[in-house]
Structure 1
């Protein structure tokens, strides 16, 4: 379909960046989808060669349109239509954010560990060595 143009919300849905076309249109409406640093409406048409930025907090992902498609495709076919050109530093930020969220877990939250369980059993049986 080289040379054709497609609505951006339909394209983002067809290359599997969004689960539904409605979610893709909503992301455009909220200003999360940009072309050349300018947020675009869902009715904006795109063509091969365009670059798209999608804000997916905490990072902004960048994609290059290789070819356009109107119908949803299998995941194995998407590399022929879109290329991820997100800078590596964005993925580093994502990893740091993930690690930071794990580090903030308060002690005692969640399920007790095996060691905690054994300590509780010892305490209840009176075998606690002080």
Structure 2
């Protein structure tokens, strides 16, 4: 990458880290290698360069972000600075809000008794056919 190009393009894993989608750059690299990030509709590798105008789809369980890159930065700044690096699409924001509502309204598992006693554990193992 040329020096003049360095100001307009940055590695994908660095951008994901700087935009605060992942807490560490290695976590961003693992996500890209795991197929959880697409750039302009194609799979990507961590070293792929990202420029302003690129569309990136990031899947951070259980949410899916579709963003358009508005700026590049190699340094991780504040959350406000990170928000300036991208613009989320309307459809993506609406889908995330709907999913958040569904997750909030979904019944949660309640554990009232705590862990099983030794006798209960043996009964469970018998039922599962392990003993």
TM-score (structure 2 length as normaliser): 0.71
Q: Equivalent residue of 2:112, what SS?
A: coil
Q: Call closer, same or farther: CA 1:22–1:107 in 2, change over 3 Å.
A: closer
In the alignment, does 2:76 pair up with 1:72? Answer: yes
Aligned to 2:126: none
Structure 2 residue ranges without an equivalent (≥5): 115-131
Q: Equivalent residue of 1:53, what SS?
A: strand
Identify the match of residue 62 of structure 2 among 58, 65, 71. Answer: 58
The answer as to whether partners of 1:18 and 1:24 remain within 8 angstroms in 2 is yes
The answer as to whether partners of 1:3 and 1:48 remain within 8 angstroms in 2 is no
Structure 1 residue ranges without an equivalent (≥5): 111-130
* 1:34 Cα deviation from its structure 2 partner: 0.6
Q: Could you tell me how far apart the structure 2 residues matched to 1:60 and 1:51 are? A: 13
Aligned to 1:116: none
Q: Equivalent residue of 1:92, what SS?
A: helix
* 1:80 Cα deviation from its structure 2 partner: 2.3
Q: Could you tell me how far apart the structure 1 residues matched to 2:75 and 2:111 are? A: 49
Consecutive aligned runs of 4 or more in structure 1 exceeding 3 Å deviation: 106-110
Q: Equivalent residue of 2:82, what SS?
A: helix
Aligned to 1:92: 98
Q: How many residues align?
A: 108
In the alignment, does 2:24 pair up with 1:20? Answer: yes
The answer as to whether partners of 2:76 and 2:82 remain within 8 angstroms in 1 is no
* 1:84 Cα deviation from its structure 2 partner: 2.2
Q: CA RMSD in A?
A: 2.3
Aligned counterparts, 1:1-130, within 5 A: 4-85=8-89, 86-100=92-106, 103-106=107-110, 108=112
